[in-house]
Amino acid sequence: MVCHIEHLGLVPYADALDAQQDRVRARKAGEIPDTLLLLEHPHVYTLGRSARRENLLFSPANLKEIGAEVYETDRGGDVTYHGPGQIVGYPILDLRQHRRDVAWYMRSLEEVLIRAAGDYGIRAERVAGAAGVFVGNDKLAAMGVHISRWVTSHGFAFNVNTDLRYFEWIIPCGLRDKGVTSLAKLMGHTVPFSEVEERVAARFAEVFQLEVIRPAYAR
């Protein structure tokens, strides 16, 4: 099977939602193959279906000070942050062509990022009862997905050169006993963003056993 990889750059959250909805419709209709959107967002907090308001540590009046937007979404999970320096991946996969198993899909997404982190000498791992990828007690990558007629949307957020101060305004993923980290923090220096994107794309294709094709309209 083949997979389109689209590198979209810095995309406002609302525009990314539109892009996902367009690709989901096309995937359900069989007009496109499996697709992975890789991008960054301007500063934004998103609330999943299980989000608790007490995990937001700011009031609407603080948003101007923070310089971020807030969106409620249909993905799973609690509240998280997206911003520049973070690789956001939105896989649009038809799981009927892979495996109709949500748990398998989530573990596979985690495996993609565990392997990508390993490419930089970082030993990342899963933590029982918490979706995502961790290094010690700190979350390196968050996850939240939506599945409709076995076609996936939303996905993962991998902290590369992320400004971690923005997580101080929330309880990330509702996990009060865990912190957050980034590839840059773990390595002690910034990491070439496009290089990490390519590693994530390669590991994604590897884990899901897909042949990568870059459509002519993608960067």
Q: Which residues touch 104 (CB under 8 Å, ≥6 apart)?
A: none
Indicate if 3 belongs to the active site: no
Q: Which residues touch 71 (CB under 8 Å, ≥6 apart)?
A: 13, 14, 17, 44, 45, 46, 47
Contact 80, 154 (CB under 8 A): no
Cα 80 to chain centroid, rounded? 10
For the CA atoms of 212, 73, 45, 175, the dihedral, rounded to the nearest 10 degrees, stands at: -90
What are the φ/ψ torsions at residue 29 (nearest 5 degrees)? -85, -5
Which is catalytic among the residues 38, 170, 173, 196? Answer: 173
Q: Which residues touch 159 (CB under 8 Å, ≥6 apart)?
A: 85, 86, 140, 141, 180, 181, 182, 183
Residues in the chain: 219
What distance in Å separates the CA atoms of residue 41 and residue 48, rounded to the nearest whole number? 17
Beta bridge partners of 153: 146
What distance in Å separates the CA atoms of residue 134 and residue 200, rounded to the nearest whole number? 16
Active site residues: 173
